[in-house]
Amino acid sequence: MLVDDNDALRGSTAQLFRLVGWDVITASGVQPAVELAMQHQPTVIVTEAILPDVRGYNFARTLRGAVEHDITLVALTRLSEQSFDELRAAGFDLVFAKPVDIELVHARLVRT
């Protein structure tokens, strides 16, 4: 699942993930993401670290609670690399700086 409040970025990023072989569902914010996660039980959730209605720090806990199995949480962010450790401590497994290299993310997810 891919979560981003920016429609254009969400659409283009989802398409890039599809091109490397992933099935992708998308959400524009916290509530739709939680509902979709509960319904579809994704194994990977890729999200913008800061959404208008919640900071990714709290969002990680919320998403983990919506899924009944272990998931890999990935944060995409424009925050400085100094924030990466905070995001990992908040529950994200992987953190990538935007603009993101989809092939790099794909390679890391395949190894996870």
| 32 prior amide bond cis, ω within 30 | no
Question: Could you read off the pLDDT of 46-96 as tens digits, one per residue?
Answer: 998 888 777 656 788 888 888 889 899 999 998 888 889 989 988 899 999
pTM of the model: 0.90
Q: What is the mean pLDDT of residues 8-15?
A: 94
- In this prediction, residue 111 carries a pLDDT of 87
CA–CA dist 82, 2 (Å, integer): 24
Task: Break the chain into its structural domains and give their ranges.
Answer: 2-77+87-111
Third-level CATH fold of 2-77+87-111: Rossmann fold (3.40.50)
Is the pLDDT at 30 greater than 90, yes or no?
no
Helix ranges (DSSP H) in the chain: 7-19, 30-40, 56-66, 84-90, 102-111
